[in-house]
Copies of this chain bind each other. A is one copy, B any other.
Amino acid sequence: MHRLRVLARQAGASPGLAGAGSLGRRGSSSGQGDLRFSTVAEARAVSGKSRRKILTLQSMNPQVKAVEYAVRGPIVLKAGEIERELQNGIKKPFSEVIKANIGDAHAMGQQPITFLRQVVALCTYPDLLDNPNFPKDAKTRAMRILQGCGGYSLGSYSASQGVNCIREDVASYIERRDGGVPADPDNIYLTTGASDGIASILKILVSGWGKSRSGVMIPIPQYPLYSAAISELDAIQVNYYLDEENCWALDVGELRRALNQAREYCNPNVLCIINPGNPTGQVQSRRCIEDVIHFAWEENLFLLADEVYQDNVYAEDCQFHSFKKVLYEMGPEYSSNVELASFHSTSKGYMGECGYRGGYMEVVNLHPEIKEQLVKMLSVRLCPPVSGQAAMDVVVNPPGPEEESYEQFIREKNTVLSSLAKKAKLTEELFNQVPGLQCNPLQGAMYAFPRIFLPPRAIAAAKDLGMAADMFYCMRLLEETGICVVPGSGFGQKEGTYHFRMTILPPADKLKVLLEKVNAFHLRFLDEHA
- A residues with CB within 8 A of B: 2-3, 6, 9-10, 14-21, 23-27, 29-30, 33, 36-37, 41, 44-45, 50-51, 53-57, 59-62, 64-65, 67-69, 71-73, 102, 104-110, 112, 117-118, 120-121, 124-125, 128, 131, 149-151, 153-158, 160, 192-193, 195-196, 199, 203-207, 224-225, 228-229, 232, 241, 243, 245-246, 249, 251-257, 260, 269, 285, 287-288, 290-291, 294-295, 297-298, 300-302, 329-334, 336-337, 339, 351-357, 365-367, 369-370, 373, 376-377, 379-388
Q: Are B17 and A355 in contact (CB under 8 A)?
A: no
Contact of A16 among B30, B205, B288 (CB under 8 A): B288
Assuming A104-B156, A380-B69, A386-B356, is B50 touching A337 (CB within 8 A)?
A: yes
29 residue pairs A–B, Cβ–Cβ below 8 Å? A3-B330, A16-B285, A17-B291, A20-B251, A23-B243, A24-B254, A24-B257, A26-B253, A26-B256, A30-B253, A53-B367, A54-B269, A56-B369, A57-B370, A64-B204, A67-B380, A69-B379, A104-B156, A106-B150, A107-B150, A107-B153, A108-B151, A120-B124, A155-B351, A158-B355, A192-B192, A195-B380, A229-B380, A232-B380
Q: How many copies does the complex hold?
A: 2
Q: Are A252 and B30 in contact (CB under 8 A)?
A: yes
CB distance from A445 to the nearest CB of B (A): 17
Contacts of A128 in B (CB 8 A): 121, 128
Chain B residue with minimal CB distance to A369? Answer: B57
Chain B residue with minimal CB distance to A52? Answer: B300
CB distance from A441 to the nearest CB of B (A): 15
Contacts of A68 in B (CB 8 A): 376
CB distance from A429 to the nearest CB of B (A): 23
CB distance from A485 to the nearest CB of B (A): 17
When chains A and B are docked, how far (Å) is the Cα of A196 from the Cα of B381?
Answer: 7
Contacts beyond the supplied A14-B288, A56-B370: 19 A-B pairs with Cβ under 8 Å: A3-B330, A6-B290, A14-B291, A16-B287, A17-B246, A17-B253, A17-B288, A23-B243, A33-B298, A55-B205, A55-B302, A55-B367, A61-B205, A61-B207, A107-B157, A117-B124, A156-B354, A356-B386, A356-B387
Q: Are B124 and A253 in contact (CB under 8 A)?
A: no
When chains A and B are docked, how far (Å) is the Cα of A160 from the Cα of B367?
Answer: 35
Q: Are B54 and A339 in contact (CB under 8 A)?
A: yes
Contacts of A384 in B (CB 8 A): 357
Q: Are A2 and B376 in contact (CB under 8 A)?
A: no
Contact of A2 among B199, B207, B291, B329 (CB under 8 A): B329
Contacts of A155 in B (CB 8 A): 105-106, 112, 351-356
When chains A and B are docked, how far (Å) is the Cα of A201 from the Cα of B296?
Answer: 36
Q: Are A20 and B254 in contact (CB under 8 A)?
A: yes
Contact of A153 among B60, B72, B112, B151 (CB under 8 A): B112
CB distance from A340 to the nearest CB of B (A): 11
Contacts of A339 in B (CB 8 A): 53-55
Q: Are A333 and B55 in contact (CB under 8 A)?
A: no
When chains A and B are docked, how far (Å) is the Cα of A155 from the Cα of B251?
Answer: 36
Assuming A14-B287, A382-B193, is B55 touching A204 (CB within 8 A)?
A: yes
When chains A and B are docked, how far (Å) is the Cα of A64 from the Cα of B201?
Answer: 11
Assuming A44-B333, A252-B30, is B294 touching A37 (CB within 8 A)?
A: yes
When chains A and B are docked, how far (Å) is the Cα of A205 from the Cα of B57?
Answer: 10
Contact of A257 among B23, B107, B158, B206 (CB under 8 A): B23
Q: Are B381 and A333 in contact (CB under 8 A)?
A: no
When chains A and B are docked, how far (Å) is the Cα of A19 from the Cα of B249?
Answer: 10
When chains A and B are docked, how far (Å) is the Cα of A297 from the Cα of B288?
Answer: 60
